[in-house]
């Protein structure tokens, strides 16, 4: 679903919103698979006004129900969450403060979908032939700026846990001419399988052993119907359990957020401007990438979150260079000498 699609349906913006059940209790968007969900929020025209102060909307309570949801923004690199009722499609923008804990979680899942897309789609500069380890390393790096994860291990754990979700979103996308079908990409298939293993392990940990022996009675047709009803009920229970477990995991990750962030927020550094040191260095040059380069996350197989700089692995570095996001060689002087939460420069090596 994209803004301005040609099916004649109205497209609107939705802000300060809450998604809830018929009792008014806030619910995650994916609970739509189990219960009817409704919307309370401020509805605005899709095209925003230049003067934000003069923008007027209509606040509606408990409208809907929500029929479906979708994620767009793959081309732009920024996720857009859409929800649809029988009447219109809504571009979800800023959630109400009381609903942020639900919406932020779903938004990070959507962002993970976009990042995987960029890593695997040729049309976005990705490589469909990378391994799962390379995909996870690239994802951990591209999502490292998120305030919801304490480090690399936490990010990888989250991405793997959402493997099934990411797979389902990507295989439903329309392919561009040079793109490989996502259902055939080894790394995405491996991510989905790893996610299933994780889910099965978690399920086995809590699965009660209360099965009973039943003497068969009735017709085969009745038995088959009862079995199918049981499977459907189990599937619904499994969905609910999965969503509840996801919420608990999300809360846990937020609580494990790197404790250094609170203490280091008071630190500051004197920023060096490139213009100030330009005369001390040669004319600008650019780094040329090598086909043999490997991501640092793969080299160290970092499956833990580091809370102290003293715990970081130490290795020798030879034949090295420092460069920015444009691949332009830059000086180490632009970085602070000590860790600092307010740093606003990114250097690669």
2-19 per-position pLDDT tens digit: 344 446 789 999 999 999
More confident residue, 23 or 138: 23
pLDDT score at 253: 60
Query: In terms of domains, do 179 and 311 share one?
Result: no
pLDDT band at 192 (very low <50, low <70, confident <90, very high): very high
Q: How confident is the model at residue 344 (pLDDT cuts 50, 70, 90)?
A: low
Q: Are residues 271 and 172 in the same domain?
A: no
100-120 helix and 186-206 helix, angle to the nearest 10 degrees: 140
Higher pLDDT, 251 or 111: 111
- Same domain? For 45 and 131 the reply is no
Q: What is the pLDDT of residue 288?
A: 77
The answer to whether position 221 is within a domain reads: no
Least Cα distance to 165 among 119, 111, 96 occurs for 111
Query: Is residue 53, in this structure, part of any structural domain at all?
Result: yes
Is residue 132 included in any domain, yes or no? yes
Choosing from 68, 95, 122, the residue where a domain stops is 95
Q: Both 145 and 251 in a single domain?
A: yes
Instruction: Dump the DSSP string for 307-325.
Output: -SGGGS------S---B-T
Q: Express each pLDDT in 270-280 by its tens digit.
A: 666 666 666 66
Looking at the structure, do residues 147 and 91 belong to the same domain, yes or no? no
- In this structure, what token pair is assigned to residue 99? 């609903």
248 and 316 share one domain? no
Residue 291 included in any domain: yes
What is the reported pLDDT for 266?
47
Q: Which residue has the higher pLDDT, 110 or 214?
A: 110
In-domain check, residue 238: yes
Could you tell me what percent of the chain has a pLDDT over 70? 64
| pLDDT higher at 84 or 147 | 84
- Identify the band that residue 337 occupies on the pLDDT scale cut at 50, 70 and 90: low
pTM for the predicted model, two decimal places: 0.68
Q: How far is CA 144 from CA 19, 148, 277, in A?
A: 28, 9, 29
- Specify if 223 maps to a domain: no
- 173 and 102, same structural domain? yes
Name the domain boundary from 95, 127, 162.
95
Pick the range with the lowest mean pLDDT from 150-154, 260-264, 304-308, 341-345: 260-264
Same domain, yes or no: 51 and 78: yes
Name which residue leads in pLDDT, 179 or 229.
179
In this structure, the answer to whether residues 78 and 186 fall within a common structural domain is no
| Co-location of 103 and 195 in the same domain | yes
Check whether 302 has a pLDDT greater than 80: no
Q: How much helix, strand and coil, in percent to the nearest 5, is found in the chain?
A: 40, 15, 45
Q: Which of 60-69, 108-117, 206-215, 325-334 has the lowest mean pLDDT?
A: 206-215
Q: Among the ranges 37-51, 74-88, 194-208, 313-327, which has the highest mean pLDDT value? A: 74-88
- Residue with the two structure tokens 């497209």: 11
The highest-confidence range among 209-213, 281-285, 295-299, by mean pLDDT, is: 281-285
Indicate the residue among 95, 127, 158 that finishes a domain. 95
Q: How many domains does the chain divide into?
A: 3
Q: Which domain holds residue 325?
A: 265-349
pLDDT in tens, 59-107: 999 999 999 999 999 988 899 999 999 999 999 999 999 999 899 999 9
- Measuring CA to CA, how many Å separate 176 from each of 32, 79, 82, 142, 327? 30, 19, 22, 23, 28
* Distance (Å, whole) CA 256 – CA 274: 36
Residue 211 lies in a domain: no
142 shares a domain with 182: yes
The reply to whether 30 falls in a domain is yes
Same domain, 162 and 251: yes
């Amino acid at each position: 679903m994209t803004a301005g699609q040609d099916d004649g349906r109205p497209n609107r913006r939705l802000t300060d919103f809450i998604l809830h059940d018929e009792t008014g209790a806030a619910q995650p968007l994916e609970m739509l698979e189990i219960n009817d969900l409704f919307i309370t929020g401020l509805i605005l025209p899709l095209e925003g006004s230049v003067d934000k102060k003069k923008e007027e909307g209509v606040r509606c309570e408990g409208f809907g129900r929500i029929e479906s949801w979708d994620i767009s923004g793959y081309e732009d690199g920024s996720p857009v969450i859409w929800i649809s009722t029988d009447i219109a499609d809504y571009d979800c923008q800023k959630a109400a403060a009381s609903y942020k804990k639900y919406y932020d979680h779903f938004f990070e899942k959507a962002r993970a979908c976009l990042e995987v897309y960029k890593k695997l789609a040729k049309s976005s500069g990705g490589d469909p032939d990378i391994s799962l380890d390379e995909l996870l390393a690239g994802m951990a790096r591209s999502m490292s700026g998120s305030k919801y994860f304490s480090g690399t291990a936490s990010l990888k754990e989250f991405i793997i846990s959402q493997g099934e979700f990411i797979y389902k979103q990507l295989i439903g996308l329309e392919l561009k001419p040079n793109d490989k079908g996502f259902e055939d990409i080894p790394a995405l298939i491996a991510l989905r399988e790893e996610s299933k293993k994780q889910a099965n392990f978690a399920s086995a940990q809590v699965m009660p052993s209360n099965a009973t022996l039943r003497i068969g009675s009735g017709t085969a047709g009745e038995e088959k119907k009862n079995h199918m009803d049981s499977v459907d009920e189990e599937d619904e229970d499994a969905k609910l359990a999965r969503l509840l477990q996801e919420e608990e995991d999300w809360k846990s990750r937020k609580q494990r957020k790197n404790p250094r962030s609170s203490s280091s927020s008071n630190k500051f550094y004197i920023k060096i401007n490139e213009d100030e040191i330009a005369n001390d260095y040669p004319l600008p040059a650019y780094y040329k990438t090598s086909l043999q380069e490997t991501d640092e996350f793969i080299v160290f197989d970092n499956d833990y979150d580091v809370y102290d700089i003293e715990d970081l692995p130490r290795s020798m570095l030879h034949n090295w260079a420092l460069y920015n996001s444009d691949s332009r060689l830059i000086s180490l002087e632009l970085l602070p000498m000590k860790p600092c939460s307010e740093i606003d420069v990114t250097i690669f090596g």
